[in-house]
Amino acid sequence: MHSGTVRVVLVEDIAVIRKALRMMLGANPRIEVVGEAGDGAQALERTAALRPDVLLLDLSLPGNASIADILALNPGTAVVVYTASTDPGKLGAAIAAGARGCLTKSASGPELAAAILRVGGGAPFVHTIVADLIRREPKEGERAALAGLDARQREMLAMHTGLSDAELAARLGVSPEGLAGELAALMERLDLPDRAHLLLYGVELGLSGGGGNTA
* Among candidate residues 169, 174, 100, the one with its CA nearest the CA of residue 130: 100
* pLDDT reported for residue 212: 46
Per-residue pLDDT tens digits of the chain, which is 215 residues long: 556 899 999 999 999 999 999 999 999 999 999 999 999 999 999 999 999 999 999 988 777 778 999 999 899 999 999 999 999 999 999 999 999 999 999 999 999 999 999 999 999 999 999 999 999 999 988 999 999 999 999 999 999 999 999 999 999 999 999 999 999 999 999 999 999 999 999 999 998 754 445 44
Residue 1 in any domain: the answer is: no
11 and 43 inside one domain: yes
* pLDDT reported for residue 1: 59
Boundary-marking domain end, from 134, 163, 183:
134
52 and 108 inside one domain: yes
61 and 145 inside one domain: no
Residue 212 in any domain: the answer is: no
Residue 113 in any domain: the answer is: yes
* pLDDT reported for residue 210: 43
What are the distances in angstroms from CA 102 to CA 26, 47, 118, 135, 145?
20, 19, 12, 14, 26
Residue 213 in any domain: the answer is: no
Give the residues across from 31 on adjacent strands.
6
* pLDDT reported for residue 61: 79
Question: Residues 102, 130: contact at Cβ < 8 Å?
Answer: yes
Q: For the domain that residue 145 is a member of, what is the CATH number?
A: 1.10.10.10
Please tell me the pTM assigned to this model: 0.92
Boundary-marking domain end, from 134, 156, 178:
134
Domain residues for the domain of 80 are: 6-134
Cα gap 176→173, rounded to integer Å: 10
Give the residues across from 78 on adjacent strands.
54
Give the residues across from 54 on adjacent strands.
8, 78
105 and 197 inside one domain: no
Boundary-marking domain end, from 134, 152, 169:
134
Residue 97 in any domain: the answer is: yes
124 and 22 inside one domain: yes
120 and 89 inside one domain: yes
Q: For the domain that residue 130 is a member of, what is the CATH number?
A: 3.40.50.2300
18 and 102 inside one domain: yes
* pLDDT reported for residue 213: 58
Secondary structure of the chain as H, E, C letters: CECCEEEEEEECCCHHHHHHHHHHHHCCCCEEEEEEECCHHHHHHHHHHHCCCEEEECCCCCCCCCHHHHHHHCCCCEEEEEECCCCHHHHHHHHHHCCCEEEECCCCHHHHHHHHHHHHCCCCEECHHHHHHHCCCCCHHHHHHHHCCCHHHHHHHHHCCCCCHHHHHHHHCCCHHHHHHHHHHHHHHHCCCCHHHHHHHHHHCCCCCCCCCCC
* pLDDT reported for residue 192: 96
175 and 81 inside one domain: no
Please state the domain count of the chain.
Answer: 2
Residue 64 in any domain: the answer is: yes
17 and 57 inside one domain: yes
21 and 81 inside one domain: yes
> Any residues with CB less than 8 A from the CB of 62 and at least 6 apart, and which?
13, 39, 40
Residue 32 in any domain: the answer is: yes
